[in-house]
């Protein structure tokens, strides 16, 4: 290939080379809007904090807007920018939060259709989580404040393969809205394989919410998970075995590690992966109930 051909090939592979001008304009407008909002939020936090420091009297009212702007605008935007630089975009056995932070470890995989997996989970006594909407979000906030049971409360979105969870299930503990077992699943891309050339249909993350608190990285109100995450897959697998699922263990699927998830919670895993096969188990009557979006 001569220099001219290499130059043409390089231009053809240049980022955005084939993008429609209208799409490029919308993308830049979107980025500009995000930048403007971030700058305004930062200015607001700075201004309010300076007023608080300079004023002889404490401005109790200033705490709320400072926290809201910092936790729900400024810090999430900063995390998105930074994680876009240093967090790999490919699969590494960890989920990601909406702000780009590394989330819970992937510790379960499933072979079988989403409908059959849903049937097995529901048949074993788990509840499908409601989709997260303003209405369901308000209901879980109200249940938490009033300490009322909310067995189908929505779960926060986590991302694998660039997609939000396909399925989400939970089991409430003692009727407490703050304590529950969670199980999220993501559908795998076509032809995608685990280490060792193992083909699975879904990968999942099981975790246990122990209490409600503030995220270490964004200061947002969130559920805090238990540190030892390897105990949760065992609970899920026991439930699926009761529905006829076969279980294998993929040892050394990843290196065992201690880390923190997107909320700042300490997590610990030995690097194993439990693989459940739900293709040949009995199909309960409610096999068609597949959660929509979760």
**115 shares a domain with 257:** yes
Number of separate domains in the chain = 2
79 is a domain residue: yes
In the predicted structure, residue 54 carries a pLDDT above the cut 70: no
166 is a domain residue: yes
**112 shares a domain with 74:** no
Q: Are 226 and 167 in contact (CB under 8 A)?
A: no
* Percentage with pLDDT > 90 across the chain: 23
Phi, psi of 139 (to 5 degrees): -65, -40
- DSSP string for residues in 127-161: EEPPP--HHHHHHHHHHHHHT---TT-----EEET
pLDDT in tens, 208-240: 886 676 777 777 777 677 666 778 888 898 999
Predicted structure pTM score: 0.74
Q: Which residue has the tokens 């935007």?
A: 77
- Domain enclosing residue 58, as ranges: 22-86
CA atoms within 13 A on the CB side of 19: 13
d(CA 171, CA 180): 5
In the predicted structure, residue 81 carries a pLDDT above the cut 90: no
**66 shares a domain with 202:** no
**108 shares a domain with 151:** yes
**119 shares a domain with 44:** no
The last residue of one of the domains, among 67, 86, 105, is 86
**254 shares a domain with 115:** yes
**172 shares a domain with 68:** no
Q: How confident is the model at residue 30 (pLDDT cuts 50, 70, 90)?
A: low
In the predicted structure, residue 14 carries a pLDDT above the cut 50: no
15 is a domain residue: no
235 is a domain residue: yes
**263 shares a domain with 153:** yes
pLDDT in tens, 240-283: 998 889 999 888 888 777 777 776 677 888 888 999 999 986 56
The last residue of one of the domains, among 86, 107, 126, is 86
Q: What is the pLDDT of residue 159?
A: 95
**77 shares a domain with 222:** no
**190 shares a domain with 65:** no
**132 shares a domain with 81:** no
6 is a domain residue: no
**223 shares a domain with 183:** yes
17 is a domain residue: no
């Amino acid at each position: 290939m001569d220099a001219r051909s290499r130059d043409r090939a390089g231009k053809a592979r240049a980022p955005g080379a084939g993008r429609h001008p209208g799409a490029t304009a919308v993308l830049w407008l979107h980025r500009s809007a995000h930048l403007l909002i971030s700058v305004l939020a930062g200015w607001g936090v700075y201004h309010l904090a300076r007023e608080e420091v300079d004023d002889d009297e404490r401005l109790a009212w200033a705490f709320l807007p400072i926290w809201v702007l910092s936790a729900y605008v400024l810090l999430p935007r900063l995390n998105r920018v930074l994680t876009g630089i240093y967090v790999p975009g490919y699969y590494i056995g960890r989920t990601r939060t909406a702000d780009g932070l590394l989330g819970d470890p992937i510790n379960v995989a499933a072979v079988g259709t989403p409908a059959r997996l849903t049937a097995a989970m529901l048949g074993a006594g788990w509840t499908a989580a409601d989709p997260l909407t303003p209405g369901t979000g308000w209901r879980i906030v109200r249940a938490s404040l009033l300490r009322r049971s909310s067995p189908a409360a929505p779960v926060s979105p986590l991302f694998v393969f660039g997609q939000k969870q396909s399925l989400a299930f939970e089991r409430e503990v003692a009727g407490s809205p703050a304590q529950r077992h969670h199980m999220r699943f993501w559908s795998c891309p076509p032809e995608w394989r685990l280490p060792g050339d193992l083909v699975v249909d879904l990968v999942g993350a099981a975790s246990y919410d122990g209490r409600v608190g503030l995220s270490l990285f964004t200061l947002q109100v969130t559920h805090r998970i238990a540190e030892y995450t390897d105990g949760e897959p065992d609970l899920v697998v026991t439930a699926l075995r009761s529905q006829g699922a076969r279980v294998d263990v993929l040892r050394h699927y990843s290196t065992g590690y201690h880390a923190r998830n997107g909320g700042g919670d300490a997590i610990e895993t030995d690097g194993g992966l439990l693989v459940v096969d739900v293709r040949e188990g009995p199909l309960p009557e409610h096999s068609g109930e597949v959660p929509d979006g979760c």
